[in-house]
Structure 1
Amino acid sequence: MSFTWPQDPQDLFVERHPQMTLGLPAAEVDAVRAAITGMWPDRPGGWVHEWSALAARHAAAGRHREAAQAYGWAKFPALADEPKRTALARQVEQYVLAAPGFPVEFERRVLTVPYRGGETALPVHLMAAPGLPADAPVVLASGGVDSWKTDLHGMWEQLALTLPARLLLFDLAGTGESAHLPMTPDGGAEVVAGLVGFARTIGNGRVGHFGISMGGYYSARNGLTGAVDAAVVLGGPVERSFAPGRGFAFGMDGIVGNALGFASAPTTAERERAIAAFDLRPLLDRDANGPMLVVNGTEDVHVPAADTLVFRGRRDTRVELIPDTGHCAISRFDEAMAVIVPWLKDTLVG
């Protein structure tokens, strides 16, 4: 189930331009920006059409990594219609073609994990520094509701090359290659629990979880229950983000509505009822957490600072708010990673 919604595409460029230019030349991003006049029409001037045209040029020239990045932006921010789903399929195709050139060990697998009394198939990526021992720890990692495992390749590559652990990369339920599963608190957590179980069998048994944005919700959940040996929460919503009356910026209402599995744009009341179920207050009231690191920027427009500060004072928990940056500290990401990587090393490896 999916739906489109009124969206000015230029608003998305305002927020995402720094992220877009991490994987593509600024001149190319700016040319696409100038050409786009509408979000949903599948024709010249449309978002999918213009980004896909750039991707196709890179693919034809054998620049598969750049093609995957551009197709990633073509399907952004949600798989709301068939052209977006086609762009995702092409992104995966180009990414697999690019994989032999990655400076890391890489494997794409389709796992079977428990889901609501049955099973579901879940494509995942395994990534590690060359020559990493088989008995290294494993770190689950994911992005959020609109930036998925393939989109964030540069970040994962950097993490894999600096961390003595194997990464298990996946898309959250309701997103990316897991979009066939609606995002629900328990259903999404059940999928993650299946991945944790698998991760314990392929390394030395120690498992961490690094969640970004909505991915941080699930890593916070795993940290608060002690289900993993180390949990990193980067810009994760946990409580106030799910309170009634919370506004959404930069199309996030449509993005979240799609992830939740609505077939048409939900009313405010419908959306608030659905997201209220994600509130982690019952787990925050317990004292069962494992080691946790909680990080965000002070100027986040999506996740209130309270959802980071609520972790202050908990045992085995470190909290870092990075000043003068926004959601997930993206404009000062190197500073965030300078905290995250050593903490993961110390906590998982010692």
Structure 2
Amino acid sequence: MSYQWPLDVNDLFGERYPQMVGNGLPVPDVDAVRAAVTDMWADEPGGWVHEWSALAARYAEAGSHGLSALAYGWARFPTLADEAKRVALAHQSEQYLLAAPGFPVAFRRDVLDLPYRGGVTRVPVHVLTPPAVAGKGPVLLVSGGVDSWKMDLHGLLVTLCSHTGLPAVAFDIPGTGDSQVPMSPDGAEIVRGLIGHARTLGNGIVVHVGISMGGHYSARSGLAGEADAAVVLGGPVEAAFAHGRLARFGMDGIVGNALGFDRQPGHDDLFAALTAFSLRPLLDQDGQAPMLVINGADDVHVPQDDTLVFEGRRATEVHLLPGTGHCAVTKLPEVLGIISEWLPRTLSTLRAGPVTTVGPK
């Protein structure tokens, strides 16, 4: 199920331009697409998917498969609301796999059948392993956001592997990318299955790293004690789900699509669906794993409360970085430095204790 909704392309370019060029696309090429696009949904010259796909096709013809995958990622952005977007995602997957032999990390794509609501659901994952990895150690489980998916986050995944020296298993959260089910609190069952799978790839220790809405799921994994440790980067926890919060940059439509609506929901319907995502019941307990919680102080999507609520909790470190916004994207080197310092210190304490195996439930 999916739907289109009114979306201002100028607003999107204004918000996402730093991400577009920061991920490695040449500035002149992004500027040219920005000048050409006049409409989000028209599959014709001037349309978002058309202009981004044309750029991606030129990269592909030149053999620049990595750049092509990035451009197709923007073509299918922000969600699979129509057939043109789904075609762009298929092209992105094709180009990404063509680029894989040139990655600075070992790469493979696995397709898992995981328990979900009494049956199973297919969950493709990407496994990235840095060349220095020897033997079996901890594994990072990485979940992206509601509009930036595992292929879109490739540069960050490679950098994370490089900084930590650990392999990463990346997946799309429910309702996004390769997922075959809508986004819901029940998606935690899928994450539990992924944690169980990741335990089999290393020494049993799994650190769930979540970015944006993926940070909601890593916060849940950490608070429930299902992962051995959790990193939450810009994750919505409870305040972000308050009535009227999803009003900027088309986020209400992006989330509405992820939730499985087939037409634009009213604010009351959207709020009713999001209320169940609040992690307040887990915040009121104390069964959590060690957690690192980071965000930018100027986030327009996730209020500061969803970061500061973790202050003073046991085994928890909190960083609210000034002068940056959602997921602190303009200060990623600082974010990676914080993670790289926290992770080995935390893993040393985990290695000293027993390993708890949490498999699919």
The normalised TM-score by structure 1 is 0.98
Q: Show structure 2 runs of 5+ residues with no match.
A: 350-361
Q: What is the letter of the counterpart of residue 117 of structure 1?
A: G
Deviation at 1:345, TM superposition (A): 2.4
Partner of 2:353: none
Q: What is the letter of the counterpart of residue 163 of structure 1?
A: T
Alpha-carbon separation, structure 2, partners of 1:122 and 1:210: 17
Q: Show structure 1 runs of 5+ residues with no match.
A: none
Partner of 2:54: 53
1:243 aligns with 2:242: yes
Q: Give the count of matched residue pairs.
A: 348
Query: 1:38-73, CA deviations, whole angstroms, 9 ceiling, x for partnerless residues?
Result: 000000000000000000000000000000000000
Partner of 1:32: 33
Question: Does structure 2 retain, via aligned residues, the 8 Å contact 1:136–1:164?
Answer: no
Q: RMSD across aligned C-alpha pairs, in angstroms?
A: 0.9
1:141 aligns with 2:142: yes
1:176-325 aligned within 5 A: 176-178=177-179, 180-186=180-186, 188-325=187-324
Partner of 2:11: 11
Query: 1:197-240, CA deviations, whole angstroms, 9 ceiling, x for partnerless residues?
Result: 00111100000000000000000001101111110000000010
SS in 2 for 1:140: strand
Alpha-carbon separation, structure 2, partners of 1:166 and 1:345: 14
Deviation at 1:90, TM superposition (A): 0.3
Alpha-carbon separation, structure 2, partners of 1:104 and 1:305: 35
> Where in structure 1 do 4 or more consecutive aligned residues deviate above 4 Å?
none
Deviation at 1:134, TM superposition (A): 3.7
Query: 1:94-150, CA deviations, whole angstroms, 9 ceiling, x for partnerless residues?
Result: 000000000111111111111110111111100011141241211100211000000
Deviation at 1:348, TM superposition (A): 2.4
Deviation at 1:28, TM superposition (A): 0.4
1:333 aligns with 2:332: yes
SS in 1 for 2:247: coil
Q: What is the letter of the counterpart of residue 40 of structure 2?
A: M
1:19-98 aligned within 5 A: 19-22=19-22, 23-98=24-99
SS in 1 for 2:200: helix
- Structure 1 range deviating more: 161-170 or 188-197: 161-170
1:147-162 aligned within 5 A: 147-162=148-163
The normalised TM-score by structure 2 is 0.95
Q: What is the letter of the counterpart of residue 32 of structure 1?
A: V
Alpha-carbon separation, structure 1, partners of 2:300 and 2:16: 13
Deviation at 1:161, TM superposition (A): 1.5
SS in 2 for 1:37: coil
**Pair 93,152 (structure 1): closer, same or farther in 2 beyond 3 Å:** same
Deviation at 1:245, TM superposition (A): 3.3
SS in 2 for 1:202: coil
SS in 2 for 1:236: coil
1:99-138 aligned within 5 A: 99-138=100-139
